[in-house]
Amino acid sequence: VLATRIADCILGQHESWTRRMFELGRKLRADGGGPVWDLSLGNPSLEPPALWAEAIVETLRDEPVGMHRYMTNSGYLEVREFIARREGARYGLPGLEATDVTMTVGAAGAINVLLKSIVDEGDRVLVPAPFFSEYEHYCANHGATLVPVPTGPAFELDVDAIVAAIREDPGSARILVLNSPNNPTGAIYDAASLDRLAAALAGLDLPRPLWVIEDSPYRDLVHDPSTEVPSMLGRWPNTVLVTSHSKDLGLAGERIGYLVISPEALGRELLHRAVTFCNRTLGFVNAPALMQRVLPKVLDQPGGRVDVRVYADNCAKMAAGLRELGFEQPAPQAGFFLFPRLPVHLREAGEVALTDRLRQQRTLVVPGVAFGVPGHLRLAMCVDPPVVDGALNAFRVVCA
C-alpha cells in the first residue's frame, strides 16, 4: 500500500500511462485469473532474424583485441560509413558522410541528444498530435516545452496549423518533430504534404533556424510493401533523421539506433560535434558496441529482416472488428498501432472509463489522453494473433 501511495504521489502525472498499463499487465498475469490480452506497450512480439544471432557469434569469434574499450563517442567509423552509404542511397543524398551519422542508444537516445544539442531553456518543440507520449518527458529533460499541433481527420499533417503554431511566437519555435510512420496512428506523412510543409517553412522569416527532427523507427514496417515513406531530408535543409532497430528487427532491449544530419544543414559540422559531445554527457557515452558491429552484417543481407506481416494482419483484423462496434479507425498504413475513436455512445463516459472496463475483462489498452488526443484508445498490435481475438471478445463485451 505504501509503495502504491509513494508511486501515486511522486510519479503521479509523470509516470507514463503505457508503462502503468504494462505493470498492471504483469500483476494481472500473476493473479492466476486466466490470460491477459495486453495491447498496452509497443514491445515487438517477433524475434530478431536468425542471422542476427549468427552475426553476433561470428563477430565475437573473429574479433581483434580492444573491441570492448571506449570508442569515439559518435560510434565506430566503419559502421557510420556503412550507415551513411545506406541512408544516402535511400534518400538520394550522395553528399552524406560518416560525420553526419551518430550511433545512439536507440531512437530515444538520439532524440535526447538532439534536444540537448539544439534547444535553449524555454524553447518550443512543435509536434503534430497525437504524439508518442515520451516526447513530453524528453522535452522536460532539456527545459523545452512540447506544443501539440492539430492534424487532419485521418491524422494527416495540417501545414497551416504548424505555421500558425510557429507564428504564435517565432522566436521560441526551435524544433518540429515529425514522427512518420506515426505512433500512435500508423499514418505516413505523404510526399505532397512534406513538399507543402517545406515550402511553407521556407516562406517564414524566422529569427532563428527551425530544425526538423524526423523520428522514423517504424519506416520499415509499412503494411503494403509498395508504400514509400518520404522524408524531409532533401526537402528541408535543417533536418535530422532519427531511427533505430527496436521495431523492425525486434531489438528494443538492445538499444541500437542512430541519427543522420542532413548534408545541407546549417552548421552541419558544429551540430555533429555537439551531438557527439552530448552522446557522452547524458550518461550513455556511446551506442552499444556489439550491436553497432553487428548491424552491417545483418542489414540488407539475405535473411536479415523480420517478416512483420503479422503486425499488419493484426491491425487489419482489429480495425475491422472495432469498426463493427462503432469505432472510427482510418486504415493504418504502417507500424503496429491503432488509434480508434470511441463510438458515439461511449464518448461521454470517456476513454479512461473504457480503459478501466476493458481492464476488468483482462484487456489492457492505453487511453488517448496519454498521446495528447482524448476520446481515443491506443492499441499496440505487435502481439501474437490469439491476443487479437481475446481482446476483440473483450471489446464486444464492454461496448455492447
Residue 81 per-residue DSSP state = H
The closest alpha carbon to 304, from 312, 315, 296, belongs to 296
Residue 279, H or E segment: helix 268-281
Site for ligand PLP in 169-188 (CB under 6 A): 179, 183
Cell of 55: 552475426
Binding mask 329-358 for ligand PLP (x = CB under 6 A): ------------------------------
User: Using the rule CB under 6 A, is 117 a contact of ligand PLP?
Assistant: no
Cβ closest to ligand PLP, residue 244 vs residue 363 = 244
Q: What is the largest CA-CA distance in the chain?
A: 66
Least CB distance to ligand PLP at residue 184 (A): 8
d(CA 271, CA 102): 11
With CB under 6 A as the contact rule, the residue among 84, 108, 113, 377 that binds ligand PLP is 108
Residues contacting residue 30 through CB under 8 Å, at least 6 positions apart: none
Site for ligand PLP in 240-269 (CB under 6 A): 244, 246, 252, 257
Cβ closest to ligand PLP, residue 257 vs residue 330 = 257
Segment lying near ligand PLP (by CB under 6 A), choices 25-33, 105-113, 317-325, 362-370: 105-113
Cβ closest to ligand PLP, residue 233 vs residue 399 = 233
With CB under 6 A as the contact rule, the residue among 36, 98, 107, 162 that binds ligand PLP is 107
Dihedral (Cα; 151, 153, 154, 157), 10-degree rounding? -20
115: helix, strand or coil: helix
Count residues binding ligand PLP (CB under 6 A): 13
Least CB distance to ligand PLP at residue 201 (A): 21
Residue 111, H or E segment: helix 106-118
The closest alpha carbon to 287, from 96, 134, 100, 71, belongs to 71
Cβ closest to ligand PLP, residue 107 vs residue 346 = 107
Cβ closest to ligand PLP, residue 40 vs residue 329 = 40
Segment lying near ligand PLP (by CB under 6 A), choices 84-92, 103-111, 356-364, 388-396: 103-111
Cβ closest to ligand PLP, residue 383 vs residue 392 = 383
Cβ closest to ligand PLP, residue 181 vs residue 321 = 181
Q: Which residue is nearest to ligand PLP (CB)?
A: 106
Cβ closest to ligand PLP, residue 49 vs residue 184 = 184
Least CB distance to ligand PLP at residue 21 (A): 14
Site for ligand PLP in 18-57 (CB under 6 A): 42
With CB under 6 A as the contact rule, the residue among 128, 148, 217, 296 that binds ligand PLP is 217
d(CA 149, CA 152): 10
Site for ligand PLP in 285-314 (CB under 6 A): none
The closest alpha carbon to 115, from 286, 7, 252, 259, belongs to 259
Least CB distance to ligand PLP at residue 111 (A): 7
DSSP string for 138-206: HHHHTT-EEEEE---TTS---HHHHHHHHHHSGGGEEEEEEESS-TTT-----HHHHHHHHHHHHT---
- The residue type found at 387 is V
With CB under 6 A as the contact rule, the residue among 17, 82, 91, 132 that binds ligand PLP is 132
Residues contacting residue 196 through CB under 8 Å, at least 6 positions apart: 157, 159
Cβ closest to ligand PLP, residue 321 vs residue 335 = 335
Least CB distance to ligand PLP at residue 138 (A): 9
Q: Which residue has the cell 496519454?
A: 370
d(CA 244, CA 233): 17
- Site of interaction with ligand PLP (CB under 6 A): 42, 106-108, 132, 179, 183, 215, 217, 244, 246, 252, 257
